[in-house]
Structure 1
């Protein structure tokens, strides 16, 4: 296949979407497909061709995420690029102006079109004082995805939510995890000694420290647990606009900033439980990374957690939006770490069922099917927009 892969974010930007997109692009290229990466130029880059399989649009900072950028491109410019690369299918990884232009260009050329639904941007609006705009944002997302033949959704809860909101042509496609990079084998007693954990339970949170991630609830959970276990520890990995405020408000927690590679692997495996209080994620890759590392997870019954966690078997679930239930759930980790051995084993076993190769292969097969179906769509004269 000859694929144009459209994304607003890509490494060295560090977030779950960027890392996931990179893995997909690498896999498809490794399978012999031509993947033309279309993305915004980052601050140190200039728009235009950036190699045989990469094209950079102009970019502007995203208002609520100034370290990230959205792309700007004209439809004629994208038509020329798609023609020059002889593209058969356009895949939209993230929504935005660049995605809209790519959709219009693809439909003008009658190419196969697919998309991912990775982020509840309409829910994000409420965390930034823009709740009145949420219906407009949702309507825009629905219209964008409606123009693609297939929208891949990562979890059953996200699928149900979108179907109920009028999104069409949905296909459930889960996520995978590298079970060697994230494994109990990385557990490090020297790191636990650095945390002064001893035999005390260590709670962990990994993710962007931003309003829509609901991080403060995890920190409040540790405060509550500390009343029963004053020796318990709270480790926070990640960075974001709320970091300074949270560090000041919760001095007992240890904020490590962004970790990568083996340092992140050791951190996961050296903790005893994972807290994931987000209500805005469509999946939450960190949930699967934590489970692969042998950590029982406490989360709300949404996104990946709802699909993966069996309460009291490999973790714990709270009803979505019930903060009290989440806080009370943290008290289950007051026992010594040795008491979690069965939970840890079961969490790891669950993660082992979600290998990257199988998920990526299923995605590849779905794209190939769309390419095969396109001649039929052309025969039906699907109108362009």
Structure 2
């Protein structure tokens, strides 16, 4: 197949979406397909990535107050797609590129939309809940009607489409690079570099935007310090709220290190932390949290997000969307036996590999649905990822986490 991936909110620092698009594209190429990715940028360009994907960059203006995101004019995107003559388009933008579904239908081209966010939750940040739900339902109904298939990564993300009775929804979990994000990246040198004299190192990795609720991570540190805990928080990431968050953290053991460009450095930071924080209540998958788990670091997450379906009490915890609740859960997780919590974290992450995600997406791209869903991809009920545990991963995770893990696994 010639697969054309379209993504407007894709840039050098766009985090999870860029990771997902790149990993899926690389997987498609590895299975013999031709992949072309069209993205916005400051200047035009064409580049064959190491994965074999041809990335076409088209000039686009920055969108105000988004921290540097750009968006190619949909008409330009349509013209490029026309020239590329795809067999199928994969769209990762529910806002500016939703109309590409109708474009594809008129030309007999298959179309798939990946839903990377919960629209009702995002609108709910600026609108009353009932109004946000109404607007989201209208937009989602049009999306489902325009595309051959819509892919959601979790049951949490799927619910807003089930609410409107859409029947062309497939659930394909995203994955994590289990080789890059590995417990072996843990290094005392990295720990001492970041935590200084503090006994416990916490990390928040993600974009510094309002929906990520970095303020709750900062406020939980204040609560821990007030209770006498010797902790330090490292915030890895950048975004439009950085200046305000730095003011909020003044006087607290919080260090902002900006966007971490190197994946090895990021993996080492995550592996060297005691606990990772993911307080965003609207996460539909949360790749940074999954990368933390893969390194053997437990994660404390919002009970309102899809991550609450992924993180168990053994490999992290859930909190009630308050700073006090987050601080309490952080204490519980930090009090777990270090070897046991690291084994549990790695074990959970091993259920989410990119190869299975790629296979599932190729089913949807070619046939509009999952042809033969693996046993680990059940539909999932309320509060479920739809992923069941694989047998035999605990021993592998114990080996990955080292000698202490071997002893605890027995």
Deviation at 1:265, TM superposition (A): 1.1
Q: How do 1:99-138 and structure 2 match up within 5 A?
A: 99-100=98-99, 102-127=100-125, 129=126, 134=132, 135-136=134-135
Partner of 1:144: 143
Change (3 A) 1:149 1:331: same
Deviation at 1:341, TM superposition (A): 2.0
8 Å contact from structure 1 (residues 229, 334) kept in 2: no
Change (3 A) 1:165 1:212: farther
**Does the alignment pair 1:185 with 2:184?**
yes
Change (3 A) 1:84 1:130: same
The Cα offsets for residues 292-337 of structure 1, whole Å up to 9 and x where unpaired, read as 11111111234442332222x1111234x455433321222554xx
Cα separation, 2, equivalents of 1:207 and 1:62? 19
The Cα offsets for residues 116-169 of structure 1, whole Å up to 9 and x where unpaired, read as 000234433444x46697443552243123311211111122222431255442
- The count of corresponding residues between Structure 1 and Structure 2 is 362
SS in 1 for 2:368: helix
Q: How do 1:92-103 and structure 2 match up within 5 A?
A: 92-100=91-99, 102-103=100-101
The Cα offsets for residues 99-121 of structure 1, whole Å up to 9 and x where unpaired, read as 41x22221111221211000234
Deviation at 1:289, TM superposition (A): 0.5
Change (3 A) 1:310 1:199: same
SS in 2 for 1:359: helix
8 Å contact from structure 1 (residues 89, 371) kept in 2: no
SS in 2 for 1:269: helix
8 Å contact from structure 2 (residues 62, 69) kept in 1: yes
> Which piece of structure 1 moves more, 253-262 or 364-373?
364-373
User: Runs of 5+ in structure 1 lacking a partner?
Assistant: 374-385
**Does the alignment pair 1:29 with 2:29?**
yes
Q: TM-score, normalised by structure 1?
A: 0.84
8 Å contact from structure 1 (residues 112, 149) kept in 2: yes
Partner of 2:345: 347
Q: TM-score, normalised by structure 2?
A: 0.79
Cα separation, 1, equivalents of 2:257 and 2:11? 21
Deviation at 1:29, TM superposition (A): 2.2
User: Runs of 5+ in structure 2 lacking a partner?
Assistant: 372-410
Deviation at 1:350, TM superposition (A): 0.9
C-alpha RMSD over aligned residues: 2.9
Cα separation, 1, equivalents of 2:232 and 2:151? 38
Deviation at 1:216, TM superposition (A): 0.7
8 Å contact from structure 1 (residues 71, 98) kept in 2: no
SS in 2 for 1:267: helix
